Amino acid sequence: MFSGLGRFVVRRPWWIILAWVVAAGAVISLAPKLTSSSDEASFLPDHYESIRAADVQEAEFPKQQNVGAIIVFQRSDGGKLTAGDSADITRVSRDLQAKKIPEVQAVVPGAVSPNKLVQTSVVAMPKLTDPEDTAQQDAVEKLRSDLKPELKGTDLSAGITGSAAQALDESDASERAGLLVGVGTIVIIIVLLLVIFRSPIIALLPVVLIGLISPMATGLIASANKAFDMKADSSIQELLTVVLFGVGTDYILFLLFRYREALRAGEDPKSAMVHAVERVGEAITSAAGAVIVAFAALTLSSLGMLRSMGPALAIAVFVTLLAGLTLVPAVVSLLGTKVFWPSKSWQREPQGTGFARLGASIARKPAIWALVSALFMGALTLGALGYRANFDLAGSSLPKDKESMVALENLQKGFPAGTTDPTFVYLTSTDDGSLPAARTAAFRGQLDKVEGVGEVSPPRLSKDGGTASFSVVLSDPPASDKALETVKDRLRPVAHEDAPAGTEALVGGTTAVYVDINKAVDRDYSVVFPVAALAIMVILGLLLRSLVAPWYLMLSVALGFGATLGATSLLFQQIGSQPGLMFMLPVIMYLFVVALGTDYNILMVSRLREEAREGRTPHDAAGTAVRHSGPTIGSAGVILAGTFATLMLAGNSTLSQMGFSLSFGILIAAFVMAMIFTPALTALIGHRAWWPGHGDEKRGGRGPRSGKGDGSDADGPPYASSP
């Protein structure tokens, strides 16, 4: 099949390229724009309590003001606020509201803090529905510029914090980060490919070809989202870029290394490309199938953000696979050996390389290498026991000198940290009657006694008097672990148990949404991961025609995942003393480390089977496979890890965690899991690894030899120096 595909592409390269250009143009011109949402609540199913509470709010309190920003006032000398200072704060708030700044509904001065150090003004803004709408950020920027002259002649200093202010500061910080990451990604790919192949043509090939298919993949995803009414997470575009460049560069490398190997064996350029597609086609198709299945398993998630992310990334990988099997061979077959220009090193294989020595050592002592690599990954996996999820992405990622962070710190001098984003408790009568004042007052008293609650406002009644809204300010920042514990373990149980007879209590707000997301993510881990693992095992079983190999291949992937999560937890939580890791990090690691790690495993085990079919013993096959596939997997791993590592240039902890975990995980997958553990274990298991299909049997009738290899085989010279 793949041999026929290779011949078809090589004979008609211009037609293949033209077909891709036309298809890309059609998709890009006809597809709708890819839209996204960053409203976490919009991704939760309706049965979660925070969503039911939001429904009550919209039905009974549609005009309930949303706290978009908070102006934090204090004396410039750090002293206690006076009556004159409070009068100035009232005047400043009135003047700011009078300016009629778009998106600013009201600027309402609040009470002085009990210790007289801080006073706030709440900036009411409409609920944000479009994550790409920056109008509220523009409003905060205007407020900040107008606030400075208003403070002249007073003894006050002030700063603006809150969700809109943090979004503005995060946007400013991410502009530089985005530029660094984008430029860094391209530079790393080009530089590493130049080092590996010494050819500017190959260095630019992934950038040009992926630049063509990237908007095509985005267009197909946007069309699918529109057709099936799916919502995309706001981070999908960045993830798409990484997937396309990462997977695309991998597949291009797999093809080019095999193409170069065929040329060194004496084949002409056209035949060499057909040979490369034939030998690599099945491996990268199976690898892509495993990645697509892993991504598609996310459709089982209860979170909308993951359900939409899975098909989107699966579409991107499928388009990349088609390009790897058709567009890339077509372009390279036109260039021929000029693709390696000006280097001549493609004509000869280096002798005594590190990969050849590693292969020889694994062939001689597979048990030691399997044990050492397993212990290494297992030891790191123990660090995953200390993993904690962190939802405070803005607070942990923004530089501490940003105005929103400075103002938040000043706010906490006099008020509970949860002032910036209160939690709401809704008490609703279930018998269609109104709520007596005595019952709501008693209920408020019970809420006020909850540990972790700073203050509870007097109830606000709906028009029919059947629902009361309580604004609950938590003592801790809304997205912190302590705030989540307060809502989950204390506030919700008290609200449910102490709700008067004939009423129902619901707890909502941002902190409650995070509590429910955490619950949904825990559920998804128990469903999505096993289903994805089972599906990948089925693909491995079909590819290898074996019931044995898929088990230890998935074991190696699990060890790689655990080692990555453990190393990241140790570095950022224990050494770096951060409160936790980004709550979506295990899912993102699953998407990339597990799926792409399976890619490398498939490439290695396919080569192991190929070498066994040539009549080599299991030990010799492992050594030869490491020698030939090691450079491919190593180069792909270094380039992909380098690409992910550019995220650490962004300068905030969230992207640093993502950059480190993904780059470390890819290196583990390439250099420990696929290059050492898998071939060593396959050599130990021997012929039984391919049971019951015996896919390692030599074509033509003669089976593989048994016994321990000595570094040579009957069909050729010793693998440590063979051509």
| Cα–Cα dist 448/497, whole Å | 14
E strand or H helix at 159, and its extent? strand 156-161
* Amino acid identity for residue 305 in this structure: M
| Cα–Cα dist 196/329, whole Å | 19
The answer to whether 559 touches 545, Cβ cutoff 8 Å, is no
Average pLDDT over residues 523-552: 84
Question: Which position has the higher pLDDT, 350 or 523?
Answer: 523
Asked if the model's pLDDT at residue 17 lies above 50, the reply is yes
- Bridge partners of residue 507, in order along the sequence: 425
Closest CA to 453 of 410, 420, 428, 482: 482
pLDDT, tens digit, 9 for 90 and up, residues 603-626: 888 888 888 888 888 899 999 999
Tokens of 576: 């770096």
- Residue 37, SS3? strand
CA–CA–CA angle 50, 54, 57 (5° rounding): 140
Q: Which are the contacts of 327, defined by CB distance < 8 A and separation ≥ 6?
A: 16, 17, 20, 209, 212, 213
* Percentage with pLDDT > 90 across the chain: 26
pLDDT, tens digit, 9 for 90 and up, residues 311-341: 888 888 888 889 889 998 999 888 888 888 8
* Amino acid identity for residue 615 in this structure: G
Q: Residues 101, 102, 105, 109: is their CA dihedral positive or negative?
A: negative
Closest CA to 104 of 72, 64, 141, 68: 68
The answer to whether 475 touches 453, Cβ cutoff 8 Å, is yes
Task: Say what the pLDDT of residue 306 is.
Answer: 73
pLDDT, tens digit, 9 for 90 and up, residues 19-40: 988 988 888 888 776 655 545 5
- Most confident of the following: 244-258, 441-455, 599-613: 441-455
Closest CA to 287 of 249, 247, 255, 239: 247
Average pLDDT over residues 567-592: 83
| Cα–Cα dist 621/609, whole Å | 8
Q: Which long-range contacts (CB under 8 A, 24 or more apart) does 267-273 make?
A: 269/333, 269/336, 269/337, 270/10, 270/333, 273/6, 273/9, 273/10, 273/329, 273/332, 273/333
Task: Say what the pLDDT of residue 91 is.
Answer: 94
Band of the pLDDT at 714, cuts 50, 70, 90? very low
| Cα–Cα dist 292/310, whole Å | 8
Q: Residues 246, 247, 248, 251: is their CA dihedral positive or negative?
A: positive
Task: Say what the pLDDT of residue 597 is.
Answer: 77
Tokens of 349: 């294989």
Closest CA to 10 of 198, 309, 267, 221: 267
Band of the pLDDT at 73, cuts 50, 70, 90? very high
Task: Say what the pLDDT of residue 563 is.
Answer: 94
- Residue 108, SS3? strand
